[in-house]
Amino acid sequence: MDSKEVTSQYDSRVTAANAAAREQKYKDVSVGETAGGFQVLIDGRPAYTPERRPLESSRRALMDAIAQEWRAQIAAINPAAMPLTRLLATQLDRVAPQRAAIVAGLVNYIDVDVLCYRAPDPPQLKALQESEWQPVLDWLEKEFAIALIAVDGITPARQSQGAAAALAAALEKLDDAKLTVLQATASLTSSIALSFALVLGRLNAREVHVASHLDELFQSEKWGEDPAAKNRRDMIAADLDAVGRYLELSQVA
């Protein structure tokens, strides 16, 4: 099972689990201390993930932000408006107990990374891709010895076994929070290189969003905006902003 399938199945389970709670009412949301850190309390009782794990973290700032998401849902619970909650639940229910499967699924992105497929024309787009994408690939090779080759067109680029091994080694060194962020970013961008760039601070969420839609943005400037495409990009941008915020909050006390 690859990481996209894991994410898709998990998201559907989160939605199903929370659908039953849409009519529930609660009066108070707080953050309590535990032996290992902090947890969200709903009317004084612990909140749980879909797999019945306590919704908790060692990071107080993250738990405060998640508690605020729950406070905003008192009138009507909307799981889509709780991205930090979903990311923490993913970390606790899927990433932590299934690290080997998550890493293996992410390694599969190596042959489909959007940064490795360049437009043969027009020259302006090709030059733009080279200037925006190649520095990220060069950084990835310098930092982790993950050397990815880029090709013109859509002919599949088969990356080396050495690059795949280096990618797996780099992924295994990430803590659970960063691996959760990297998985979510890869699913949104189809780029393992951009995902590492976000997790390691090489790019911020907005820069990752622009880089992952470089071709589409170029075409929209040339031919005009497609409202449906813009709406989709805006939704992805919002998701990436939430992922970036989760990364930030999971790294501070």
pLDDT over 90, % of the chain:
76
* pLDDT tens readout for residues 3-45: 444 344 334 444 434 444 455 578 889 999 999 899 999 999 9
Amino acid at 2: D
Q: Provide the whole-model pTM.
A: 0.87
The per-residue pLDDT for 247 is 98
Distances (CA, A) of 218 to 74, 154, 201, 241: 42, 18, 25, 22
Which CATH fold topology does 99-249 show? ATP12-like fold (1.10.3580)
What are the structural domain ranges in the chain? 3-95, 99-249
Domain 3-95 is classified in which CATH homologous superfamily?
Answer: ATP12-like (3.30.2180.10)
